[in-house]
Structure 1
């Protein structure tokens, strides 16, 4: 198989603090390089992640930092000579970075959107924080966190030549089943988001108020100090990826909460969904189109609309039944949604883009002459 030289410009690989991008990139790129490819990851050196780094020297790719768009020029040759350059969502000065890459790269260029519904909502508002509409047609591939109808929208309205689903995933070796004493009846792991908070209120905080005898936990940074937590809700500011399996193993159930833009788009699974399932922890989730294509409701995942739905699940399911649901979810995820599956998919799409580029270049030269 041909070895690909790939440069990735992503939000962060070095720090998982306050973002899900790092764990997504880590799993994907570890599996991608295991397939024989070479990866250079370029990360903008910003104070927030610099002070919270939990992966300084990855063993699966090269990690380098740049301080500004001008400083990115130090990697001009690597970008120019790469077989593929991938720019991620939420990269600082992402529009200018994208233009630079599209101008300099000889190989194919791709956009990896780990936030597709949020991105599209921003574009609709004229908010071009890290992507502008006129960049999309010049990305040879648009890797999208969201599948389903959104892929057609990206191609038909925004002119993407190839929009392809590239969901988040999980590294099974990093997310095993562990035997731990149960500490919480329901857990939630996620950074604060204003548009997730109403769902968290409805599906965890309100159940906690109604059931003071049960134990809950919310783990993640950036929650406002003014939030009034019930006494039976434990708060943890940050759980590093290495501790996620232990966190899930101590949870009888864990909650999956989806951002509003992603609920509207559907087909937008969270990385936490895959990670918890890989650990065999039963998941209670909010509801959105396409979730049934990933995990079967009532067999591999539980869906809730109201606080009483959650309390019924917490109170009525036996340990054996709960364990069976978690085991079925784990089998499904390991069979279809590991980092290895995603790496193979990305590899195939990049090779297809390279073939298209090679076919199109002779035609472009003929027209120019």
Structure 2
């Protein structure tokens, strides 16, 4: 085993260098950067798929080694062989190509000195899938992993994974990466009353209609903006401006400029609760006034009415906007900024993760004695 301050971690994920059709990118970046700052070495393996490499929003960082491999089975086996250098091997959900192969093959790297982790960045979707299909190949693998980490989900997700035989399931929540998300000067091109950022996905679309598009149609006197991939052919009222994919370097201005920004959870995330989207922490890190749809556990992260505004439906979004002055929005945004710095940065998450990893390593070592 390596020195306690120098774990070698192999991480199989969708992409570290491109946020294109890849909502987990900023989550990966925050976690990996914080691990590097603690002295650990991360190699991130990502496939050349979905035009992500053509739509990079960052160069290879100095805080991780990035290995881009062809979307071919032979290449998958080659990078698996390369990962044998690691003390910790992580397979994230939703790599996008050869997920089933990776989920089975990383388990063959398991040794008393090498911990194998499944990191579920979409636990509600994974659990729904395996619970409805007893023949799902991943179902049989769950008890074999040393640990299941999740992007969120709280106790419902922990209990669901335990029922499927997981040895240990721990949520590592989204957080703020202070190196990339922070207050900046407003940019006039993002000026509006209410902005929403999110890709068009099947279990998000109906909620975007309810909490955003329908609200805009009923509030013609206010201006709205929507960013993200896939909305180009979606009917919208004339007071909604669609701006397409927003690169991460523009996120701060997108969050700082509007009077308020809206968080809309995907249906499955809202149903499980305790699953704050990355954009909540990113917006708080820019001192934005955030309005969020309701989900169980909001008050675990931010205090409603003081640090975040909560709406049960579209009518409540409209009511909030009708009474929201720029001054009130600024006070709420500043309160969210203070909270996120105090409790919800990726350094906080890396501290939790580091303790988990070392407790697992010590437990394995004890069992060998």
Structure 1 residues 361, 97: CA separation in 2 closer, same or farther (over 3 Å shift)? farther
Q: How does 1:221-300 map to 2 (within 5 A)?
A: 221-223=229-231, 225=233, 227-300=234-307
In the alignment, structure 1 residue 6 sits paired with structure 2 residue 12: no
- Structure 2 counterpart of 1:177, from 167, 177, 183: 183
- Structure 1 counterpart of 2:322, from 287, 308, 315: 315
Cα distance between partner residues in 1 of 2:17 and 2:267 = 28
Contact 2:151 2:275 in 1 (8 A): yes
Structure 1 residues 151, 348: CA separation in 2 closer, same or farther (over 3 Å shift)? farther
SS at match of 2:73: coil
CA offsets 1:232-257 (integer angstroms, 9 cap, x no match) = 10001111111100111111111101
- Structure 1 counterpart of 2:104, from 84, 99, 103: 99
Distance apart, 1:145 and its partner CA: 1.4
* Residue in structure 2 matched with residue 43 of structure 1 by the alignment: 46
In the alignment, structure 1 residue 206 sits paired with structure 2 residue 214: yes
Distance apart, 1:351 and its partner CA: 1.1
Structure 1 residues 181, 73: CA separation in 2 closer, same or farther (over 3 Å shift)? closer
Q: How does 1:311-350 map to 2 (within 5 A)?
A: 311-350=318-357
Cα distance between partner residues in 2 of 1:281 and 1:47 = 31
* Residue in structure 2 matched with residue 366 of structure 1 by the alignment: none
Cα distance between partner residues in 2 of 1:245 and 1:128 = 44
SS at match of 2:351: helix
In the alignment, structure 1 residue 191 sits paired with structure 2 residue 199: yes
Distance apart, 1:291 and its partner CA: 1.1
Contact 1:79 1:105 in 2 (8 A): no
Cα distance between partner residues in 1 of 2:15 and 2:314 = 35
Q: How does 1:12-91 map to 2 (within 5 A)?
A: 12-67=15-70, 68-91=72-95
Distance apart, 1:2 and its partner CA: 2.8
Cα distance between partner residues in 1 of 2:134 and 2:356 = 28
Cα distance between partner residues in 2 of 1:213 and 1:95 = 50
Contact 1:95 1:128 in 2 (8 A): no
CA offsets 1:273-322 (integer angstroms, 9 cap, x no match) = 11011111111111111111111111111111233322222221232222
Distance apart, 1:56 and its partner CA: 3.4
Contact 1:147 1:164 in 2 (8 A): no
SS at match of 1:168: coil
Cα distance between partner residues in 1 of 2:134 and 2:264 = 25
Structure 1 residues 128, 345: CA separation in 2 closer, same or farther (over 3 Å shift)? farther
TM-score, structure 2 normalization: 0.92
Distance apart, 1:154 and its partner CA: 4.0
Unaligned runs of 5+ in 2: none
Contact 2:152 2:275 in 1 (8 A): yes
* Residue in structure 1 matched with residue 164 of structure 2 by the alignment: 158
CA offsets 1:138-179 (integer angstroms, 9 cap, x no match) = 111111112422343245311111111111122113111123
Structure 1 residues 361, 136: CA separation in 2 closer, same or farther (over 3 Å shift)? farther
Cα distance between partner residues in 2 of 1:217 and 1:136 = 41
Distance apart, 1:14 and its partner CA: 2.0
Cα distance between partner residues in 1 of 2:101 and 2:265 = 30
Aligned length: 360
Contact 1:14 1:56 in 2 (8 A): yes
Unaligned runs of 5+ in 1: 363-369
Cα distance between partner residues in 2 of 1:15 and 1:117 = 24
Cα distance between partner residues in 2 of 1:181 and 1:43 = 33
Structure 1 residues 47, 260: CA separation in 2 closer, same or farther (over 3 Å shift)? closer
